């Protein structure tokens, strides 16, 4: 930034802050509206997350329900949107991103000026004009916001977090405050705990993480030497492990990039934070604002965003070409969250949902052109945090053990499962103990069993911990009911989740979280189907990490596990894209040398001839716990059965070792 530009920005900032400082002493609007702008001005003067915390949130304008009660329907939702977007000023100020802070201050003042003008003319501020002010803000700064988001993932000069991680005194958790994120007691406590561990143990944790990333290239025969950057996504508090990981990646020839979770509404993902992040100050708030894009999404937004993304990747195509992929460290241990459904929150129309689905699919195509999926990889690992309970230290050690189980032993056991399963033309999965699951999974036929296989033998590489065999089912005649009495997906709880499938696609679904059928269906459609009318069965798998299952059973933490571990604790079905999305043409081989031929299904095969083919851009795993699992049996064309699991236990010769943790867990 030139001195002239900085001078101009500083002048704009001083003018904006000077005007905002005057607002708390003014009384020019009706009481409720003046209160909104007074509170907003005080926030900008001294921004913090305090008003978003449970107990205070419900009496703040961050809560759409409170805003509607105080300001009226329509206006209330829009001003709550502005309040929520304004929270970004906290990290912007931490990073000294003066331009970003200035444009938020100016938006606030523009809206205040609009209300003052209406008051002077003795009019009433109308919803449509206010919406247009906000839409103009989004459109005016969308090129900047979206381009910066693209750059943030791949440009090593984006080093704000890197410098904090590598230069801070990590023995004192006060360094966490410098990130500009919400830092709760749990985040400080995990930092203190990691500070107490030896360098040797920290290195071992980092080695497991980074080796998984390296192996991802090795097992798929991709050339890591052509890559120069990796993007680490993680939850704050794990800086000692992350620092060691940065050093490991440097030894691989990779510079580490840290991208913060999205701060602008134009970039936000409604279902997850993607990037590094502090704690969530209020999960209900995040849920209430999940559809804030309803304020501005239309076809023009979609077309403009696609233009900007294409332009941004073209501008940064050299950086994109050497990007190796994301390395993700997730955490688990939060209390299960069952959201309150509020009628006051913003909702996307069906037309807007369709626009967003199209946008997601088209964005995926652009990203894949500049960063081809068959040239990059990833890794994901997960660790507990102290809020998981008084057994945190024991659970942490158990998780480390789960993450580092014997590769060769599981490889050999899983090979026996695969040989039995691929004898069938289909696999039948049934529940027990009240679980109503009864589903038939069609398998792709093998032309040459000596050289081909249907199931991948998944041991510890990109997806840590090890422990599953999985396939992309053949969609025709994949029929039946999947049922789970309780499951947690993306931090949300589902009671008595039931999904019906016919010819590989979801035809119906229900749960019992809320009072009405409509509320339950909307909850599932939004958060499992991601607003698609239907999704295919993209994966069928058997999780074999019964050690992880026993850990969860022993400490009563099933509800707190990340999907990453939960999927390894039982058979599971994923809805959406297959595990080979955008990499279907890359040959993949099991350790026995046979090629996995189930990388496509009947839907993804259309990508070869149908130019309108779109991926779903989602993949959601639903796991049946072993204590609700009756049987898994492969059945061939003649009706011969090959049992793999009966009454929740493995029955194949050579797989009995997997039952020991299950037997232990049944006694605890």
In a domain, 657, yes or no: no
Burial class (CB in 10 A: 0-12, 13-18, 19+), 464: buried
Spatial CB neighbours of 614, under 8 Å, sequence gap ≥ 6: 358, 361, 362
- CA distances 412 to 4, 378, 454, 650, Å, are 66, 24, 16, 14
In a domain, 388, yes or no: no
> pLDDT (tens digit, 9 = 90+) per residue, 190-235?
999 999 999 999 999 999 999 999 998 988 889 999 999 999 999 9
Please provide the average confidence, as pLDDT, over all residues in the chain: 94
In a domain, 292, yes or no: yes
Are residue 470 and residue 606 in the same domain, yes or no? yes
Are residue 196 and residue 57 in the same domain, yes or no? no
Residue for token digits 């060769």?
408
Asked if the model's pLDDT at residue 667 lies above 70, the reply is no
pLDDT score recorded for residue 664: 53
Whether the full predicted model's pTM is greater than 0.75, yes or no, is yes
In a domain, 144, yes or no: no
- Domain with 206 in it: 154-380
In a domain, 304, yes or no: yes
Asked if the model's pLDDT at residue 495 lies above 90, the reply is yes
For the chain, the domain total comes to 3
> pLDDT (tens digit, 9 = 90+) per residue, 120-169?
887 777 899 999 999 999 999 999 999 999 999 999 999 999 999 999 99
Beta carbons of 452 and 446 less than 8 angstroms apart = yes
pLDDT score recorded for residue 668: 45
Burial class (CB in 10 A: 0-12, 13-18, 19+), 587: exposed
In a domain, 393, yes or no: no
Are residue 373 and residue 442 in the same domain, yes or no? no
Helix, strand, coil abundance in the chain, percent, nearest 5? 50, 20, 35
Beta carbons of 147 and 124 less than 8 angstroms apart = no
Are residue 456 and residue 580 in the same domain, yes or no? yes
In a domain, 260, yes or no: yes
């Amino acid at each position: 930034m030139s001195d002239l530009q900085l001078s101009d920005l500083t002048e704009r900032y001083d003018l904006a802050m000077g005007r905002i400082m005057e607002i708390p002493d003014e009384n020019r609007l009706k009481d409720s509206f003046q209160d909104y702008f007074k509170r907003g001005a005080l926030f900008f003067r001294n921004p913090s997350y305090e008003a978003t915390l449970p107990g205070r949130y419900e009496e703040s304008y961050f809560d759409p329900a409170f805003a509607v009660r105080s300001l009226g329907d329509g206006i209330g939702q829009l001003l709550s949107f502005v309040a929520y977007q304004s929270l970004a000023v906290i990290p912007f100020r931490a990073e000294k991103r003066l331009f970003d802070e200035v444009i938020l201050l100016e938006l606030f003042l523009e809206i205040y000026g609009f209300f003052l003008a209406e008051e002077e003319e003795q009019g009433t501020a109308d919803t449509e004009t206010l919406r247009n002010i906000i839409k103009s803000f989004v459109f005016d700064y969308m090129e900047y916001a979206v381009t910066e988001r693209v750059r943030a993932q791949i440009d090593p000069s984006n080093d704000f977090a890197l410098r904090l991680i590598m230069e801070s005194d990590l023995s004192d958790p006060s360094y966490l405050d410098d990130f500009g994120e919400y830092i709760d007691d749990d985040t400080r406590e995990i930092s203190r705990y990691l500070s107490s561990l030896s360098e040797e143990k920290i290195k071992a944790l980092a080695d497991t993480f980074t080796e998984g990333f390296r192996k991802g290239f090795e097992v798929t025969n991709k050339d890591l030497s052509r890559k120069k950057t990796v993007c680490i996504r993680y939850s704050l508090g794990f800086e000692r492990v992350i620092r060691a990981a940065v050093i490991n990646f440097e030894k691989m020839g990779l510079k580490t990039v840290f991208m913060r979770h999205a701060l602008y509404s134009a970039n936000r993902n409604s279902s997850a934070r993607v990037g590094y992040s502090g704690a969530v100050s209020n999960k209900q708030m995040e849920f209430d604002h999940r559809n804030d894009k309803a304020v501005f999404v239309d076809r023009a937004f979609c077309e403009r965003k696609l233009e900007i993304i294409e332009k941004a990747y073209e501008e940064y195509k050299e950086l994109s070409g050497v990007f190796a992929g994301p390395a993700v460290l997730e955490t688990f241990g939060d209390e299960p969250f069952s959201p309150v459904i509020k009628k006051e929150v913003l909702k996307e129309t069906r037309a807007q949902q369709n626009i967003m689905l199209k946008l997601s699919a088209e964005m995926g195509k652009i990203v894949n052109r500049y960063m081809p999926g068959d040239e990059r990889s990833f890794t994901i690992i997960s660790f507990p945090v102290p809020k998981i309970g008084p057994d945190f230290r024991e659970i942490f050690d158990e998780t480390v053990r789960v993450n580092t189980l014997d590769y060769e032993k599981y490889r050999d056991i899983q090979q026996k499962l695969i040989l039995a399963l691929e004898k069938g033309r289909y696999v039948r999965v049934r529940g027990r103990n009240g679980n109503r699951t009864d589903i038939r999974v069609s398998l792709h036929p093998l032309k040459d069993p000596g050289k081909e296989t249907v199931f991948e033998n998944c041991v510890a590489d990109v997806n840590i911990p090890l422990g599953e065999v999985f396939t992309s089912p053949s969609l025709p005649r994949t029929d039946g009911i999947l049922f789970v009495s309780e499951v947690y997906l993306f931090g949300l709880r589902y009671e008595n989740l039931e999904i019906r499938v016919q010819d590989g696609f979801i035809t119906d679904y229900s749960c019992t979280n809320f009072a009405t059928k409509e509320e339950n269906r909307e909850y599932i459609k939004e958060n499992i189907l991601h607003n698609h009318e239907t999704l295919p069965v993209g994966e069928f798998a058997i999780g074999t990490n019964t050690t992880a299952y026993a850990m969860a059973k022993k400490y009563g933490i099933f509800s707190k596990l990340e999907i990453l571990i939960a999927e390894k604790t039982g058979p599971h079905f994923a809805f959406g894209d297959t595990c080979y999305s955008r990499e279907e043409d890359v040959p993949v081989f099991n350790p026995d040398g046979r090629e996995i031929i189930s990388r496509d299904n009947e839907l993804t095969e259309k990508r070869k001839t149908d130019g309108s083919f779109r991926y779903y851009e989602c993949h959601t795993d639903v796991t049946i716990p072993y204590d609700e699992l009756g049987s898994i049996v492969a059945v061939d064309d003649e009706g011969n059965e090959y049992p793999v699991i009966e009454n929740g236990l493995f029955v194949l010769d050579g797989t009995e070792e997997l039952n020991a943790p299950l037997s232990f867990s049944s006694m605890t």
